[in-house]
Amino acid sequence: MNINVNGEDFEVTVSYEGNTQISDSSGKASGNGEKSQQTSVNGEVVVSPLEGKFYFTKDSSETPVKVGDKVKEGDILGYVEAMKTYNAIRFDKSGEIKQILKENGSDVEEDDELVVLG
């Protein structure tokens, strides 16, 4: 899955066999060996590209995504606030939101699962 954070592209691969790998656009890859959190819904999992606080919207003029929403590639899922900067997280493929795994204002780590697309 490809995630764009403030104009920088990241390619993220999630594996449920306990071998999670992340690579950036330069082709560098690292595996953390931790088993990713299992979800009860089958689908494409969108993960956080960095650590911080997760928000669905940056201000009150935006409408947050919800279960059942149909999204397109490039739509904004939400933002991760890190070091007082809001980093937009965009969907890398189209689909329907099947499950939301994090609450607004949640602390997230790099690779935490945010939503499931179906």
Mean pLDDT within 80-104: 94
pTM above 0.75, yes or no: no
**Which of these CATH numbers, 3.60.21.10, 3.90.226.10, 2.40.30.10, 2.40.50.100, describes 36-117?**
2.40.50.100
Task: Provide the pLDDT confidence category of residue 102 given band limits of 50, 70 and 90.
Answer: very high
Burial of 102 (0-12, 13-18, 19+ CB in 10 A): middle
Tens-digit pLDDT profile for residues 36-60: 344 455 789 999 999 999 999 998 8
Q: Which two tokens stand for residue 112?
A: 């935490």
- Taking the domains of the chain in order of start, what are their residue ranges? 36-117
Which contacts (CB < 8 Å, 24+ apart) does range 54-61 have?
54/78, 54/79, 54/80, 54/81, 54/102, 54/104, 54/105, 54/106, 54/107, 54/108, 54/112, 54/114, 55/79, 55/80, 55/81, 55/86, 55/104, 55/105, 56/104, 57/104, 58/86
